[in-house]
Structure 1
Amino acid sequence: MFFIAALLYALLAVVSLGNAAPAPVNSGDGTFFTPGLGACGYNNNESEHVAAVSHQFFDSFGGGSSNPNDAPICGKMATLHYGGKTTTVQIVDRCAGCSGPSDVDMAPAAFNDLADPSVGRIQITWTIN
């Protein structure tokens, strides 16, 4: 009897994983910046696949405290898309200069995966992984 109950419990767990809601797709401007010490407390550089999300997105992600280093979005991975290309970045900063709520400022290494830097600004879609 115990074996059957355990098997049913495991089956229900697997089925519920398959019904998870997909992550919302965000759409905004993609730009690039020179990373340094960011709001999450990480020190990053131009060769890393890191990004800053808009201050609106960063602040509304939920949880945390008044210390931005504790923000729950810090360290999350995001997948960005543009022109049939994709890159993955780690969220390490808050973009105070981003005007749109779904704008993302990327390190040059990540931006280069999507477009030539001479373009400067691209329209991206992205999700938190």
Structure 2
Amino acid sequence: MLSSLTLSVTLCLFALVSARPVIPRATDFTGGTGQGTYYDTGLTSCGKTYTDSDLIVALSHFFYDTYPGATANPNNNPVCGKKLTAHYQGKSVTVTVADRCTGCAMYDLDFTPTGFEALSDLSQFLEMLI
């Protein structure tokens, strides 16, 4: 099941924080807008199997595929296992990158239902400010 929600979310990948605007690049998840969704998990692009209660996230294939060190084998992508934290209206969730989202734009995130619910109700649409 794919669902979405309209929120403002600030995301930081790898604890990267910048007080000034930056140009988005593969290792920098600040600056830009995207949407958040949730999906039913299973075997991921990183080569591991997860459940919907795990706190993982799928990154856009644009970001995932261009991450420095990425090869043709998605299981060996160095972004796998990295953490990011999403914040929304006093709520936050830290999730681990474990999958690749082919239906996502550059700054979109696809959460597990549990990760999504940490920010908002599953019936909502997530509009993220990244």
Map residues 62-77 of structure 1 onto 2, 5 A cutoff. 62-77=68-83
Aligned to 2:111: 106
Instruction: Kindly provide the CA deviation profile for residues 67-108 of structure 1, in whole angstroms up to 9, marking residues without a partner as x.
Output: 00010100100111223321000000000111x201000000
Specify every segment of 5 or more residues in structure 1 that has no aligned partner in the other structure, as ranges: 1-20
Match of 1:22 among 17, 22, 28: 17
Q: What is the aligned partner in structure 2 of residue 52 from structure 1?
A: 58
SS state at 2:118 partner: helix
Matched, 1:84 2:90: yes
Query: Which amino acid counterpart does residue 122 of structure 1 have in structure 2?
Result: L
- Give the unaligned 5+ runs of structure 2: 1-15, 19-27
Question: Amino acid of the residue matched to residue 128 of structure 2?
Answer: I
Q: CA deviation at 1:22?
A: 3.2
Structure-2-length-normalised TM-score: 0.73
**Given the two structures, how large is their TM-score scaled by the length of structure 1?**
0.74
| Higher Cα radius of gyration | 1
Alignment-derived partner of residue 39 in structure 1: 45
Measure the CA separation in 2 of the matches of 1:104 and 1:79.
11
The count of residues paired between Structure 1 and Structure 2 equals: 104
CA distance in 2, matches of 1:30, 1:89: 13
- Contact conserved, 1:33 with 1:106, CA < 8 A, in 2? yes
> Does 1:124 pair with 2:123?
no
Which structure carries more relative contact order (alpha carbon 8 Å, separation 6+)?
A: 2
